[in-house]
Amino acid sequence: MKDNSVPLKLVALLADGEFHSGEQLGEALGMSRAAINKHIQTLKSWGLDVYTVTGKGYSLPAPVQLLDEAAILSHLHQPDLAVIPVIDSTNQYLLDRMDQLASGYACIAEYQQAGRGRRGRKWFSPFGANLYLSMYWRLEHGPAAAMGLSLVIGIVMAEVLQSLGAPDVRVKWPNDLYLNDRKLAGILVELTGKTGDAAQIVMGAGVNLVMRTENASEINQGWINLQEAGVEINRNELAAKIINSLRDALPIFERDGLASFVDRWDALDNFIDRPVKLLIGDREVHGIARGIDKQGGLLLEQDGEVKSWVGGEISLRPVN
């Protein structure tokens, strides 16, 4: 694995958002100004926008709140956490180590080189801009018991964000968080295990905190970050609270299934009682969203009849 220790030290020096001369940085890191410039290019490849001004040096556009492993651990009810600043994918890190992990083990990162979204999509993951978090869980009752799990994760994350000062965060079936009708966070659940065996599950989540528009041209849908909505949340506190809340909620889900979460979903549902279109492959189904059932299916009303759907994705349908 590539040694990223020098670029990470460089980020820590620049994290205050002030200008630092190449000479100052070189002295602090014991290297030439030319070597500093080479590491600045690494930071740019991580999605950091580094200003270079002749006579002043280098700076970031704004201060960056870096992940603080000690601060996060101090808030966790149980440790079981890996903080890896630069990683291919937090989900993949846990998938590669499942046999060694206890349920609830979590991994967070500053930057993902190969972050994954649903349906093989890339999850855009610039350094220090968002929260990238994954957790491992073992479901003894097998893969079938995982039905509705992504909904529970969405509920927990939305409630945490609301409790930390973002009261308008909502859930979108089956696995996104929305704010002002735009995507704020995504959830990816990856599952292994055969019927009759325990299911090993890795749950990944990405929450947009301060990601800038110019850095995100490759995202193919309307999105928002908390900063744009005027919400400031401490990233370390958010990570700890999501981890603790998931570790509290998942045993309840294991015991009771989705039943005890349906009312919580309805209270958070961004699309409930609104006209939507459900996309299943090439098929498009129009109706009024009426929440979810106890299996996690989307309840869609058409011509006065409510039917449950278990696949696809929804979006708002323009009202004529």
d(CA 249, CA 244): 9
91 labeled binding residue: yes
Closest CA to 150 of 117, 175, 131: 175
d(CA 209, CA 226): 5
φ and ψ at residue 289, rounded to 5 degrees: -70, 130
Cβ-based neighbours of 171, under 8 Å, separated by 6 or more: 151, 154, 155, 158, 177, 178, 265, 268, 269, 270
Closest CA to 107 of 69, 152, 60: 69
For the four alpha carbons of 12, 61, 234 and 218, in that order, the dihedral sign comes to: negative
118 labeled binding residue: yes
CA dist 274 → 113, 265, 316 (Å)? 37, 15, 7
**Which are the catalytic amino acids?**
118, 183, 317
Cis before 167 (ω within 30): no
CA dist 102 → 138, 139, 157 (Å)? 8, 11, 21
For residue 312, what are its two tokens?
């696809």
89 labeled binding residue: yes
170 labeled binding residue: no
52 labeled binding residue: no
112 labeled binding residue: yes
Q: What does the chain come to in residues?
A: 320
d(CA 116, CA 123): 5
| Binding residue ranges | 89-91, 112, 116-118, 183
| Binding residue ranges for biotin | 89-91, 112, 116-118, 183
